[in-house]
Amino acid sequence: MAASQSGVPPPESRPAMEAPAQVPAAPGDPSAYARAAALDDASLLAECDVQSFVASGPGGQHRNKTETGVRIRHRPTGLQVTATERRSQLMNRVAALERLRERLAKAAFVQKARRTTKVPRSSKRRRLESKRHQSDKKRGRGGGGDW
């Protein structure tokens, strides 16, 4: 059976898949995280996919029948957070957004490179003198016992 008879259009006439709106940032790129953390709530939410879902756990019928859980995924960085601890979707959205900001700020932090330092000669001398003193003290205890 030919492709035209099966109801599937030939490959050249099929629409190409659309490219994603935003390319995810590189995992090690702190500037993208810092830029996102500095945005106001409305701008940050515009860059996110917000999804509500039925949260499990204690709470009875209200919790089991309503979509109060909130999952926020930041498209540019790929970070994802959830909030299910409250019975209100609005409160969970606020909590999830706060959690996302914390994660973005943590990911934006770049620790300074540690420079190795040389131990000063005087410190080495003091340490060795102290060891020698302890050694002499223990050696001088010589109980002369037969083991």
Domains of the chain, first to last:
21-108 (3.30.160.20)
Give 112-145 pLDDT, tens digit per residue.
898 999 999 999 999 999 999 999 999 888 766 5
- Three-state SS at 80: strand
Give 8-41 pLDDT, tens digit per residue.
555 454 444 444 444 445 556 778 888 888 888 8
Cα dist from 88 to 50, 53, 140, whole Å: 15, 12, 76
Predicted TM-score (pTM) of the model is 0.58
